Structure 1
């Protein structure tokens, strides 16, 4: 299957991800990391907002938020779901915000898609007021842990999938990136999502896209069959490490 999935399919995938074990807790932790001093603006920009759930949840907390996404389909979907919220089409390198106009910057599962994370952080510093808070959340695509009878093939599939991502290990580098960009009070925590049932199958299948050419159709088919059997027998294990970094703008 080629091409970009329709907006409704993308929305369905986002909804599934939002319901995974620990997803709500991780979003909540990211919101709490945006807390600023009383003299700092309360407004937040959510970069790569997708279907807009975080913007809506921030609004429920009394935090005015603007959602930014480069995909017009996602912005249209977000506006349809949350019509009273502020959503705009833009990318992480050119935010449609004035200098020092927000007190919070949030980017969830975004930086692994950016070719130039350093440039994005320069833009983050521009829009953040002094004392404003930045929160970065993302999974380490090269650090997925999967139980399998074929650990060699599993490692190869994980690495091959990671190699198809722009910056698959960006999340493990959050702390260094923030320090290099001049942020202070940098903190980094790891939150591991553990999946043991059939909900993990779509993510596992994403590892095998195009893998037949490299590893052979028979091996890939057998590996998928093993994971399905594990799910049926309640013996599947997929652990995904998510890094959450917070810091303060100087």
Structure 2
């Protein structure tokens, strides 16, 4: 495979999440998620899969000092980072936990959110059932999840694009089509689903896209898995690096009401 201007090693996970949160793409859809969540003063809010605490202070500001925000993550490193970042915020409580078995009583929360989390869990339906259990009647869950089968990257050889997207959806992301499935799964768990908002991210700069999508890293994995051969991978990456670039992927924001 020829040399490439793209990243070849995976960044630290916390650094990657911080990078993503700071991107224009993420800032736009996160604000829409916050608007849909409609947090009121005094409410209890769950940030499920809170990562390094990126959104905890924002949620706490919405809940005010009369409310509370509980961040839950299964990764001890993420929990440590989130606790350090919110140590001076008495509204926030960060806990180590599993979305499949939340250590919370029934009807304990008014609002809950998941942001690009359900694409990675073992059983999205079980996780949604747990959220349904811990929300009070009239409570609201807002989910933001990509549908990786909608990923489109312009290239003169469309078959290479299809192979890349197929590899990503089949081999890289556990629940790659979760975005389109959210409304159905939430309904199965007893939620009403009044709102589904598709948000399509558009990338015009290859290097900016690579910082989010990991273009070369994923291509190398596709070669190892047999989706590309070396010559095809070279051709694919060369055009992405030097030709006009366009990539899009759709994320679904879904409101579910208990």
Could you state the TM-score of these two structures normalised by the residue count of structure 2? Answer: 0.86
Query: Deviation of residue 206 (structure 1)?
Result: 4.0
SS in 2 for 1:111: coil
2:252 matched residue in structure 1? 243
1:184 matched residue in structure 2? 192
Structure 1 vs Structure 2 CA RMSD:
2.0
1:3-42 pair list within 5 angstroms: 9-35=12-38, 42=43
2:120 matched residue in structure 1? 113
In 1, are the aligned partners of 2:115 and 2:143 still within 8 Å (CA)?
Answer: yes
Change (3 A) 1:192 1:182: same
- How many pairs are equivalent? 238
1:200 aligns with 2:209: yes
Out of 131, 142, 156, the residue aligned to residue 124 of structure 1 is: 131
Question: Which consecutive residues of structure 1, in runs of 5 or more, have no partner in the other structure?
Answer: none
1:227 matched residue in structure 2? 240
Question: Which consecutive residues of structure 2, in runs of 5 or more, have no partner in the other structure?
Answer: 1-8
Distance in 2 (alpha carbons) for counterparts of 1:171 and 1:103: 23
Out of 148, 153, 165, the residue aligned to residue 158 of structure 1 is: 165
SS in 1 for 2:138: strand
Query: Deviation of residue 31 (structure 1)?
Result: 1.6
Query: Deviation of residue 37 (structure 1)?
Result: 8.1
1:27-176 pair list within 5 angstroms: 27-35=30-38, 42-61=43-62, 62=64, 64-83=68-87, 84=89, 85-164=92-171, 165-176=173-184
Query: Deviation of residue 149 (structure 1)?
Result: 1.4
In 2, are the aligned partners of 1:133 and 1:246 still within 8 Å (CA)?
Answer: yes
Distance in 2 (alpha carbons) for counterparts of 1:153 and 1:216: 10
Query: Deviation of residue 22 (structure 1)?
Result: 3.1
Distance in 2 (alpha carbons) for counterparts of 1:241 and 1:64: 32
In 2, are the aligned partners of 1:37 and 1:131 still within 8 Å (CA)?
Answer: no
1:139-191: CA deviation from partner (whole Å, max 9, x where unpaired): 11111011111211111111111112221101111111111111114311101
Could you state the TM-score of these two structures normalised by the residue count of structure 1? Answer: 0.89
Once structures 1 and 2 are overlaid, which stretch shifts more, 29-38 or 205-214?
29-38
Distance in 2 (alpha carbons) for counterparts of 1:124 and 1:206: 34
In 2, are the aligned partners of 1:33 and 1:133 still within 8 Å (CA)?
Answer: no
1:78-137: CA deviation from partner (whole Å, max 9, x where unpaired): 112221331111111111222101001101101111231111111011110000001110
Displaced runs of 4+ in structure 1, greater than 6 A?
A: none
